[in-house]
Amino acid sequence: MRGPEWGEEFQRLVLACFLQGTYPTAPQPQLSGSAARGAAPTPRQRLAAALAEYWGKYGSAPSPEVFREVARRVGEGLGEAERAVVSAEADRILSQPALEDPTFVVDQIKEWSEYISAAQGVLQAADLLDAGPTSLAAVRELLAKATEPAAPGDGRARSVAYQEGAEERLAAWRRGEEYGERIPTGFAELDSVLKGGPTRREVFYFLAPPKGAKTSALLRLALHAARRRFGVYVATYEMQAMRVALRVDRMLSRQSKEELREDLTRLEKALEGLKLSGAGEIVIDERPPQQPNCVQQAALRIDQLRREGRRIDLVVLDYLNIMGSSRDEREKRHELSRISREVSALAKSCDVLVWSAALVKRAAVNKRVIRKDDIAEAYEVIAVMDGGVAICGTKEMIANGFRRFYVVAAREEQDEVRAGDYRVDFARMTLDPAEDGAVDAVDPEADRGKGGEEKT
């Protein structure tokens, strides 16, 4: 059994993608082929090994100028002719054109990495069996781990030395940031329930049926984060990027399409105010739905934006059910679970807060009190997320433009608790806190379940 093999030009393209930031992980020298037994490494293999060492030391790719210096050091100790070949190879790698879509290269590298992992797993499993009678469960676990797709991002894990890190933790406790920097949602009651908002390296979902205001909620928290000078990346798998930006225009100006067509003064002033306040940028990408490796592509894009000097703190993925996983699954629910695990890995590896949305049956949220059992179809997603907020409401509430936020699941804070009633205006893309007594006026029974308990 042989692994994937590539020609010289593709090997150069792999190293170029690493230098250009479109494949944010260390280049493995074996990707440039294996030297024959007893033979010296090729110039390309030497450069790949040097880049892997550079990544291990600095956690990033070198700039073109630094790469030329790396190539010069690789040539030290070699003959004059060999040094010239190494230098020429470095120039050929740098001359590779930038790819608008690196998916093909990423997929090939992923295939190679998975082959190597699987091959090593098979050899280890064979050693277990050759050693004598052993548990088949241990062999199966070994093979399952060997064939698990790599997490998106750089794959580096964090560790904590408990006693050595005590001072840092104490300082975080004093700041009220024991779980890290909080990024408020802008929904006052929801932020109160979440003790100020979620933190980096966490994943939260809005759980709603079709037309349940999930995109409006996601864009509102994205705009609020930008106003607080956080950098935001939005990947939309449902709409065109321009249409998303136009929705944010309506949200920012609090005007409908018809009102904006008549007079843009309010929007122009709001945009100028956003700029003068030093608000963070919101970068919006449109991506095709149901394409494999959606999360990996998002991780690559985040890294690219950061290399361009942009700040990315919050990532919005709209939305889970129309994204594609790194591996086909027999059932959609298992695919959603895999995507949610990949999203969780992205949040940790890229050090960002991720908000997304997941569809649930309308009957699950058309009620006053929501329990985890009501959204059983999302169980596998809930298992790996840090928090889930149902957007719900009775028929009377929905008919009158009201929605209730209900924290169904929260890993660190209280769950199965109400997080505010809001009036939704889809024309102006607004979700405002409902006036006192407004919900009671349209549905006297809607207040049942406040705090997660039925009134008796």
Task: Report the Cα 428 to chain-centroid distance in Å.
Answer: 28
Distance CA 200, CA 223 (A): 17
pLDDT digits (tens, 9 = 90+) for 232-284: 999 999 899 999 999 999 999 999 999 999 999 999 999 999 999 999 999 99
Q: Can you tell me the mean pLDDT for 126-142? A: 71
99 vs 46: which has the higher pLDDT: 46
Q: What is the mean pLDDT of the chain?
A: 82
Q: What is the pLDDT of residue 424?
A: 95
| Residue 168 banded pLDDT, cuts 50, 70, 90 | confident
| Residue 426 banded pLDDT, cuts 50, 70, 90 | very high
Q: What is the pLDDT of residue 316?
A: 97
Up-side HSE of residue 115: CA atoms within 13 Å toward CB? 13
pLDDT digits (tens, 9 = 90+) for 320-336: 888 987 666 666 666 78
Q: Can you tell me the mean pLDDT for 178-189? A: 90
Distance CA 453, CA 447 (A): 10
Q: Can you tell me the mean pLDDT for 296-320? A: 89
Distance CA 150, CA 295 (A): 11
Give, for 317, the enclosing helix (H) or strand (E): strand 314-318
Q: Where are the alpha helices (DSSP H) in 200-291?
A: 214-227, 241-253, 257-262, 265-276
∠ CA 159-380-419 to the nearest 5 degrees?
Answer: 85
Distance CA 64, CA 74 (A): 15
| Residue 65 banded pLDDT, cuts 50, 70, 90 | confident
Place of tokens 């907020």: 389
Strand, coil or helix: 227: helix
φ and ψ at residue 390, rounded to 5 degrees: -80, 135
- CB within 8 A of 426, min separation 6: which ones? 213, 216
What own/partner pairs with CB < 8 Å and gap ≥ 24 does 247-251 have?
247/215, 247/216, 247/219, 247/429, 248/219, 248/222, 248/223, 248/282, 248/429, 250/427, 250/428, 250/429, 251/216, 251/219, 251/220, 251/223, 251/428, 251/429, 251/430
Q: What is the pLDDT of residue 368?
A: 63
- CB within 8 A of 144, min separation 6: which ones? none
DSSP state of 201: T
Q: What is the pLDDT of residue 172?
A: 82
Beta bridge mates, 390? 207, 406
Task: Give pTM, 2 decimals.
Answer: 0.68
Give, for 402, the enclosing helix (H) or strand (E): strand 402-410
Residue 8, pLDDT above cutoff 90: no
| Residue 33 banded pLDDT, cuts 50, 70, 90 | low
CB atoms within 10 A of CB 240: 11
Residue 299, pLDDT above cutoff 80: yes
How many residues comprise the chain?
456
Which DSSP string corresponds to 285-312? EE--TT-TTHHHHHHHHHHHHHHTT---
Strand, coil or helix: 425: strand
Structure tokens at 37: 């037994």
pLDDT digits (tens, 9 = 90+) for 370-424: 666 666 556 666 677 899 999 988 889 999 999 999 998 888 888 889 999 999 9
Q: What is the pLDDT of residue 165?
A: 84
